[in-house]
Amino acid sequence: MALFSPLPNLALDSNRQAAPKKNAYANCHHTIPPASELSTIILGGGLAGLASGYVLSEAGLKVTVFEGAPTVGGLSKTVSHNGFLFDLGGHRFLTNNKEIEKFVLRILQGEVLNVPRRSKIYLLNKYFDYPLKPINAFFGLGLGTTSKIVADYCKERIKNTFSPPAIVSLEDWVVSQFGRKMFDIYFRDYSEKVWGINCQQISQEWVAQRIQGLSLWAAVKNAFCKLSGKNLLTLSDDFFYPTMGIGQLSDRLQEGIENHNPVSTSTRITAIRHDSARITEVTAVNCHGQKILTGDEFISSIPLTQLVELLDPPPPAEIINAARSLKYRDLIIVTLMLNREQVTDLTWMYLPGKDIPFGRIHEPKNWSPRMAPPGQTHIVAEFFCFKDDAIWKETDERLQAMTTEHLVKLGFINQDEVIDCCILRLQKAYPIFEVGYQAHYDAIMKYLKEFANLQVVGRSGKFKYFNMDHAMESGIEAANTIISKTVTTKHLREASRSDPRLSTNLASQIQS
């Protein structure tokens, strides 16, 4: 996801609270590069935009990537703070697409680890394994509750056989696949904590994208026979991870692009102009000033709602209203640096309880030992919220104290072990699939298809809950489309030079 904003993006400034406006273009070192004939302009330097730029650059095409933040990567970046490295929530790479896997491993050039997944959920003052392990669940929940879960599951399976339910919301889907008791215990609180809305308001399409094919029976089978869940990524026991954090992947993609073409960070787009059939130019602004750039092709990975807002002339009122109806979830990252060797042996800990303000924690050192200095470690806590929530407006000092207090209470750390803290606020981190969003989304996408030279990619750009592999895949597909069009255009240009009668055909081909 690209954090590319029409306003100066201060979200990744670790001194955010005191950050003055004069630092809005921190790390702005380059003038805005000019675009050229048959060039592609990429809006947003997240994984999808970078993948597009990398493939186009390797094909020898002209590309310019614009990213509003000081560094590329979007959510897939690694922050360096006083000798500690951490991701924005911890991002594992796993995929069923062997071509994407080869692509990523080639880019990382061997600097990658295979990390075993060890995750737990803190429920009812107890720790439960995730993915589900029946023996752990049985002893943790007790015979009565476990029996109720099994009975509810059997009831739903029988009911679904004779009268399949209408699946509209996340709640409908989970109850259908797991039973009501399992939904109440495992799914309700955490889902509502992450998304900030009732489970009946969360569209089932989010579930289809994230955990398609999973049921209680599939989880149980996987616990006893690992081969049964080998194609369900949500049940994967291990994953790939770069030795220096997930941002290493973004950095390598940037390096590959910059071997041929420019990547302009700390540069925001203030307007995207069009003639109703094609995007014609964009206005880019950074510390060196403003420049209007023309290009032949455009790829956007900026939030879909921002893309609509930046179009000039503005879209019809119904499209603007549709964009305003789509919502994103914001995120606060609080990282505590600790003077101790290790806190847990886990990759993630999920905390659905409403009495704990953050929803998930991870310890980067358990992903790669190079993420922390020797003898020290750190905990990354994720606060899921909206920017209008009280928690978003809390001071950094209060957020640090709050996080420390709860980790001490949970028995993970001692207060005197905290030696440093880094707090980041990330706007539009995750698209929210609210029931009814699809009609708004379809209207926007239908309108954008009218622009023959515009493609949208990535999680935020397409408003899809993509994993990293899917985000990159969308970027690569966009690049391949442009490569195919460019080959056709070049052939037509060469032919028209020898036969002027073909010039009319050339013009029509370029416009299509």
- The model's pLDDT over 118-130, given as tens digits with 9 standing for 90+, comes to 999 998 888 888 7
What is the CA angle 220-226-231, rounded to 5?
A: 95
Q: Which residue matches tokens 């889907």?
A: 173
Note the pTM of the prediction, 2 decimals: 0.86
Question: Tokens representing 484?
Answer: 């195919």
- The residue that leads in pLDDT, 16 or 44, is 44
| Cβ contacts of 384 within 8 Å, gap of 6 or more | 193, 194, 195, 196, 329, 330, 331, 359
Alpha-carbon distance of 379 to 371, in angstroms, equals 11
At residue 509, does pLDDT exceed 60?
no
Sign, CA torsion 318/320/323/325 = negative
* CB-based contact 87:246 (threshold 8 Å): yes
At residue 160, does pLDDT exceed 80?
yes
At residue 510, does pLDDT exceed 60?
no
The pLDDT score that the predictor gives to residue 208 is 65
- The residue that leads in pLDDT, 143 or 376, is 376
Alpha-carbon distance of 252 to 413, in angstroms, equals 35
Residue 382 CA, chain-centre distance (Å), reads: 14
pLDDT band at 238 (very low <50, low <70, confident <90, very high): confident
The pLDDT score that the predictor gives to residue 265 is 94
At residue 250, does pLDDT exceed 80?
yes
pLDDT band at 272 (very low <50, low <70, confident <90, very high): very high
At residue 9, does pLDDT exceed 90?
no
At residue 381, does pLDDT exceed 50?
yes
The pLDDT score that the predictor gives to residue 56 is 97
| Cβ contacts of 457 within 8 Å, gap of 6 or more | 48, 49, 52, 299, 300, 301, 471, 474, 475, 477, 478
The pLDDT score that the predictor gives to residue 38 is 59
All structural domains of the chain, each given as residue ranges with its CATH number in brackets, are 21-77+96-113+244-326+434-478 (3.50.50.60), 119-235 (no CATH), 328-431 (3.90.660.20)
At residue 270, does pLDDT exceed 50?
yes
356-373 average pLDDT score:
96
138-160 average pLDDT score:
86
Largest Cα span, the chain? 83
